[in-house]
Structure 1
Amino acid sequence: MSVLAQDPDTFLTDAQQYHRELLAHCYRMTGSLHDAEDLVQETYLRAWKAFDRFEGKSSVRTWLHRIATNTCLTALEGKQRRPLPTGLGAPSSDPVGELVQRTEVAWLEPLPDESDPSHIVGSRESVRLAFVAALQHLSPRQRAVLVLRDVLQWKAAEVAEAIGTSTAAVNSLLQRARAQLAAVGPSEDSTLTAPDTPAARGLLTRYIAAFEEYDIDRLVTMFTEEAIWEMPPFVGWYQGGPAIGALIHHNCPAEKPGDMRLLPLTANGQPAAAMYMWDKDSGRHLPFQLHVLDIVDVAVTHVVAFLDPALFAKFGLPDSL
């Protein structure tokens, strides 16, 4: 049956096959898992309402991405970018100093990985945390052009039609976006180790064991000299294994082995772990942090520890252990 011969409800049922890539697209645009989920639903609602005007000149996938892009651009009007602490421009913090929390900031959020490994490999580079954080430095229209051209591989004329501008304007936006991304984005010489490799799995296992055994000295040896640790909504960031170790010693609520339990997972196409902290009142381990790791070779170069228990449900994680 052709698309045009279907009724809108049947069409939308078929269009659900693109849900995951639309979620990733909206996540790249917004830096927020919560916003991306809402925007995908809005995309499907707009598609359902506009179904009778779909002429079949493009594929359904392209048409949905076009709607999603404009939905995101509308949603981003007047909104501030979503940063990580390292993106605020301040120098590294004192690991034994007071932690400063800013809950009013809309921070960058992590993205759960697709359960199908074949999909993960194809989209891993474009959802990595450092790349999405770098996208946040671009204007929404620059972001849209760069993602459509460089991630989805659309032609300039297709992008121009999608966002209602000229091909020349698209090329200009793309040039500026690429230059800005090169200035703030991840360096090309730091190729991250994929989470499904033996090296990454082995290091993540040791990382989890060090936390659970409260062996911070052993944990420190897993970081490179220039490794960075940050944990939104706290604004500070910390560099180097010794500083990271000092931060954990002085500010982590854990007191002994067993206070922390971690579950391995993947997020943003990277190794990750969900940390649960012992709670005396409930007698259980409760959601505490969600760690997303950059691993290069056999060392940790960056950890973003998200202190947002609401993310645990989004990752399909239990509400306690």
Structure 2
Amino acid sequence: MLLEVMMPRMDGSEVCQKLKSDETTRFIPIVMVTALKDLDDKIKSIEAGADDFLTKPIVKIELLTHIKSLVRVKPLHDDLGRSYRELQELQDTKEHLTQMIIHDLKNPLTGIKANLEIVGMDDLTDTRECLEAAQRSSDLLYSMIQDLLDISRMEEGELTLSREAMNFNELGQDVVNEVDAPAQAEGKDVRLEVDDGLPSVPADRDLVYRVVSNLMLNAIKHTGRGGTITLKGRKVDDSVQINVADNGHGIPEDYLERIFEKFGQVDRKRRSGAGLGLTLCKVAIEAHGGKIWVESVEGEGSTFSFVLPLSPTPPEAEPIEPS
């Protein structure tokens, strides 16, 4: 944009200042033009935010040179703006992460501290119960820290899969045996339905176990008394598909797209945990060359599904690439 310094109602420096103070126009290149040779006018224009200055009479080649220079600078301005916004988003994420970690690590630590204080009192009749509660809190704390570290390692490509021929019928039964007791204690039914002849899949058994266990515990937590949680396994094309279905609370539609994001929660007031579990599931399944998704109707239940290819991708013993 070319602006005359001397204008009828408002001089060019004032117009320039207004344009540069408006978010929508601040990055428009402005060249001040004047027949005056007063240094004060030039200084005033530059202080108003002008990007360049020309003195009349204007030589065509000189004008073109200045314009070309500003045209080259404009993309740099745009890149700088994008970088600034990305850094701001990273800063916001960092602050959010810090708040989440402080909040979520505080709960199990408080449980450990409180129970150990009780043990330290004179009346030791409930010592075993208090120690068991402290153990559960420390296990939760360890699990949260382990999830955070593993997610970071997988995203950075620093974790190598230990693939083996995994029998999902056996793995599924192990998971059901693990979660059945806490589910029964809350009046919930856990079922396992695996198709006969389901082929073994080359996968990191420990990692897949954590994924399935995480999904099952999540389903139990969000299913009311009398509800049913079903773990299913079947072959679909060249993959093995696993489903964890429940008839619980369901998930709001506007949350489905971000449910696998780090530290995402449906309702922060009712949450328990930093929201790392589903992120771990996502990066773990994608590391196997698979895919994970969720289908849900609020008030009717949810089904979390993932597929693992029968032909491993990426190749065995290859570091996990960031997703």
Same fold (TM over 0.5): no
Normalising by structure 1, what TM-score?
0.25
Which gives a bigger RCO, structure 1 or 2 (Cα 8 Å, sep 6+)? 1
* Bigger-Rg structure (1/2): 2
TM-score normalised by length of structure 2? 0.25
